[in-house]
Structure 1
Amino acid sequence: MSATQILVFMVMAGIAAYVQTLTGFAFGLILMAAVALGEILPLRDAAVVTGLLTLVNAAVMLRNGWTEVLKRQFLLVLLSSLPSLVVGYFVLEHLADQGLVILRILLGAIIIVSSLQLIMPPKREQRLASDRSFVAFGSISGLMSGLFSTSGPPLVYHFYRQPLPLLAIRETLVAIFGVNSLIRLGVVFADGTFPDKRYWVAFLAIIPVVAGTQLARRFPPPISPQTLKKIVFILLCASGASLALPAIPAALRMAGY
C-alpha cells in the first residue's frame, strides 16, 4: 500500500465509524465501497480488516452499554448466523479466486439495496416478531458477514421494526456486529488466510475508528439525522453503481452473451 492509499483508507475508516455511530449501521458498506473503488486492498483482505475495525468500533460503543443488550434476541441471531457466516466466508474465498467480476457486481448490489434503509426506515410493528424471524434474519446477516463483513442491513431492518426500546436495539445490534466480526476473524485464522504482512499497515485505521466513534458522540453534525442519511444514501448508491455497472459487460462476456 502506498502512503496515499494508507491515508485515504484511514480517513474513510474514520468517516465510516462516525456515520456508523450516528446512523446505527453502514460502517462495513462505506469502508468496503471505498476499498473496492480505490482498489486499495484485495476484497478478501479488506473484509478481514473491516471485520477487525468493526470489532473495535463495537468495543468503543459498548463500553457502558452491555446492560441494554436484548439477551434472547442476541442469542437467537448469533447462533443462527454462525453456519451461514462460514458459508459466506468460503463463497468469498471461491469468488476471490475465480470470479472477481461477479464479486464486484455482488458487492455493488448489496451496497445499493442496503443503503435504501437509510431513506426508507422500517415501520414499527405492534407485536414482537417470532423467534423464527430472528433466526431467519440472523442467517441472512451471517451470510453477509461471511462475504463482506457487512452483517448490518438485514438486522437493522428487522430490529427497528420491533416494539422495543431504541437504545436496547442499538446496543444489541452493535454487540451482534462485534461478536460476528470476532467469529469471522477466528474463521480467517483457522483457514490460514490472514492478510499478508504488506497489508498490516491498514490496521492503523484503528486510531481514526476510535476517534470517529468518539467524535460522533461528542460532536454530532449540525444537520438533521434525515439529511445525513440522505447524503450517505446518495454516496453509497453512487459507489455501488460504480462498482457493479462497469463489471456487468465483462460478466455477460463470461456467460457467453
Structure 2
Amino acid sequence: MSIASVLHALALLALMGAASYFQTVTGFGLGMIVLGAASGFGLAPLASVAALVSLVTLANSAIALPGTLHHIDWRAVGAATLGLLPSVVAGVVLLDYLSGAASGILQILLGAVILYGSLAAALRPAPLARRSGDRGFFLSGVFGGLLSGMFGISGPPLVFQFYRQPFSLMQIRCALILLFAMTALIRSLFSAWNGQLGHEIWIQTAFAVPAVALATVAARRYPPPISGVATRRIAFGVLVVIGCYLMVSAVRGWLQ
C-alpha cells in the first residue's frame, strides 16, 4: 500500500469520526458530510464509501440511541417511515425512467426548494408554535425517500420537518438518528443483495467503527455548549450547503 493510500485511509477515518460527532449532536450529517468530502477530495470510490457509510451509520446509531428511545415521538417517526420506505424504491425507479436532462432539471429544482426553505428557516430559527400533523411527517418521509433513491441524499426534508417542530433538541436528534439508521439498514441489505459488500468493505468497516464509536461517545458525554437556536441555525445552514451542492453538481454535469 502506498503512502498516498494510507493518508487517504486515515483522512477518511478522521472524517468519519468528525461526521459521527456532528450527527450525534444534531441528528444528521454523517452520510452527507462523508460522501461530499470523499467526492470532493477523491479519498475513495463513491460506491464503496456509500456502502461503508451505511454500515458505520448503523454503528453510530447503536451507540447513540440506547437509553434515549423514550424521547422519540413515535407517531412522527412512524408517519415519516411510512413515507420513506416505499419512496426510496420509487426514487430509484424514477431515476431509471428520466433522461439525463430531466434528472438534472429536477435536481436543480429540488436544490432551489431546499435552499429557499433553509435560508428562510435559518433567518427565523424559532420552532413552530404547534406540532405538525402526521401528514406533514409522512410527506417529509416521501420526499426524503425520493431524494435518497434518486440522488443518495435523504436528509433535507426530514431535517427541515423535525427541526421546525416544537420538540426538544434531544427529541429531534433521537428521531433523526433512528430514521437514518433505518435508511442505512435498507441500503446495506440492498448492497448485500447485489453482492456489493465485499471483504474490503468489511475490513474498512472494522477500522472505521472504533473511530465512529469514540466520536459518538464523546458527543454524548461532551456535547458542544451551544443553544437550541444556534443548533437550529447550524442545521439549516448545512441544508443551505446541500441545496447549493445539488444545484451546482447538476450544472457541472451538463457542462461536462
TM tier, shorter chain? 0.7 to 0.9
Are residues 1:82 and 2:85 paired? yes
Q: Given the two structures, how large is their TM-score scaled by the length of structure 1?
A: 0.75
Instruction: Provide the residue aligned with 2:209 in structure 1.
Output: 206
Q: Given the two structures, how large is their TM-score scaled by the length of structure 2?
A: 0.75
60-69 or 5-14, which deviates more: 60-69
Asked whether the equivalents of residues 18 and 215 of structure 1 are also in contact (C-alpha less than 8 Å), the reply is yes
Query: Partner letter of residue 187 of structure 2?
Result: R
For 2:22, what is the secondary structure of its paired residue? helix
> Where does structure 1 differ by over 6 angstroms across 4 or more consecutive aligned residues?
91-95, 222-225, 239-244
Query: Partner letter of residue 79 of structure 1?
Result: L
1:194 to 175, 193, 196: 196
Instruction: Provide the residue aligned with 1:135 in structure 2.
Output: 138
Are residues 1:3 and 2:15 paired? no
**RMSD of the TM alignment (CA)?**
3.9
Asked whether the equivalents of residues 146 and 184 of structure 1 are also in contact (C-alpha less than 8 Å), the reply is no
Instruction: Provide the residue aligned with 2:64 in structure 1.
Output: 61
> Cα offset for 1:164?
3.2
Are residues 1:72 and 2:75 paired? yes
1:160 to 160, 163, 171: 163
Asked whether the equivalents of residues 51 and 149 of structure 1 are also in contact (C-alpha less than 8 Å), the reply is no
After superposition, the C-alpha distances for 1:109-156 in whole angstroms (9 at most, x for unaligned) are 59x949869945644222222222111101111223335654332112
> Cα offset for 1:160?
2.1
For 1:128, what is the secondary structure of its paired residue? coil
Percent of aligned pairs with the same residue? 34
CA distance in 2, matches of 1:3, 1:94: 40
For 1:60, what is the secondary structure of its paired residue? helix
CA distance in 1, matches of 2:204, 2:124: 33
Residue ranges of structure 2 left out of the alignment (5+ in a row): none
Are residues 1:215 and 2:221 paired? no
CA distance in 2, matches of 1:230, 1:33: 17
Are residues 1:125 and 2:128 paired? yes
Residue ranges of structure 1 left out of the alignment (5+ in a row): none
CA distance in 1, matches of 2:121, 2:211: 24
